[in-house]
Amino acid sequence: SPPGLLLLTSFLLHMEEGHASPTRLVCDNRLIQKYIGEVKDMEKRVGQCQALSALSYPVVLPFVDFSLRQWKSKSNETKRREILCDLALLVGAVAGAQGQVTEECGARQLNQLYQHANSFLLLLQTFSWEAGPWEPGCSPRSTEKTSVMWVFLTYRQLVQGKLRFFFNDLAKDLCK
């Protein structure tokens, strides 16, 4: 079964009526660690692909680095929207890279990455707090890259950084 499906299913099984509650995903720290491990595995496998050439045209990737002090001062809704912006841009970049990579090994890893990133995107869109539903149209800080490895690196940094800290922040409220 595709890994993205597992993520979405585990989330949907733990929703409360009316509001999406990320309780298990957030409260069971082993899950985010598992996703970080999967991302590292994908990154390692794509690094082992033979003849993975540079992309013919660059893809636009979000800058996912952040200051922990600034991050902690933001509301959970602001953090969610920021991660959604990053994920939306990243999913677009993966799709753009997919259209350029014909080599089977790289294409397979990009497909897996697309499923993962898109699942997190769908999942975070279902969380509902003080604000209404998420609207695309955000413009995160970004950079252009022609290396497939940068796409994987950006996703790993997003999951290990903002996403993990976001889940950690949610856990403080949800996991009593």
**Three-class secondary structure assignment of 33-83:** HHHHHHHHHHHHHHHCCCCCCCCCCCEEEECCCCCHHHHHCCCHHHHHHHH
Q: pLDDT (tens digit, 9 = 90+) per residue, 46-104?
A: 999 887 888 999 999 999 988 989 999 998 888 888 899 999 999 999 999 999 998 89
Question: Has residue 47 been placed in a domain?
Answer: yes
Q: What is the SS3 assignment for 20?
A: strand
Kindly tell me if the per-residue pLDDT of 9 is higher than 60: no
Q: pLDDT (tens digit, 9 = 90+) per residue, 117-176?
A: 988 888 887 765 544 444 555 766 899 999 999 999 999 999 999 999 998 888 887 777
Question: Has residue 11 been placed in a domain?
Answer: no
| Predicted local confidence at residue 17, as pLDDT | 39
Q: What is the CATH number of the domain that holds 163?
A: 1.20.1250.10
Give the separation between CA 39 and CA 143, rounded to whole angstroms: 21
Question: Has residue 33 been placed in a domain?
Answer: yes
Question: Has residue 67 been placed in a domain?
Answer: yes
Give the separation between CA 60 and CA 82, rounded to whole angstroms: 16
* 172 contact partners, CB below 8 Å, separation of at least 6: none
| Predicted local confidence at residue 135, as pLDDT | 53
Q: pLDDT (tens digit, 9 = 90+) per residue, 29-38?
A: 788 888 889 8
Question: Has residue 9 been placed in a domain?
Answer: no
Question: Has residue 152 been placed in a domain?
Answer: yes
With contact defined as beta carbons under 8 Å apart, do 122 and 152 qualify?
no
Give the separation between CA 167 and CA 174, rounded to whole angstroms: 10
**Pick the residue with more confidence: 14 or 35?**
35
Q: Element (H or E) spanning 145, and its range?
A: strand 142-145
| Domains of the chain: total | 1
| Predicted local confidence at residue 52, as pLDDT | 81
Tokens of 1: 């079964």
**Banded pLDDT at 15 (limits 50, 70, 90):** very low
**By residue range, what is the domain housing residue 90?**
22-174
| Predicted local confidence at residue 24, as pLDDT | 65
Question: Has residue 75 been placed in a domain?
Answer: yes
Question: Has residue 17 been placed in a domain?
Answer: no
Total residues belonging to the chain: 176
With contact defined as beta carbons under 8 Å apart, do 109 and 49 qualify?
yes
Q: What's this model's pTM, rounded to 2 decimal places?
A: 0.81
Tokens of 128: 């509902």
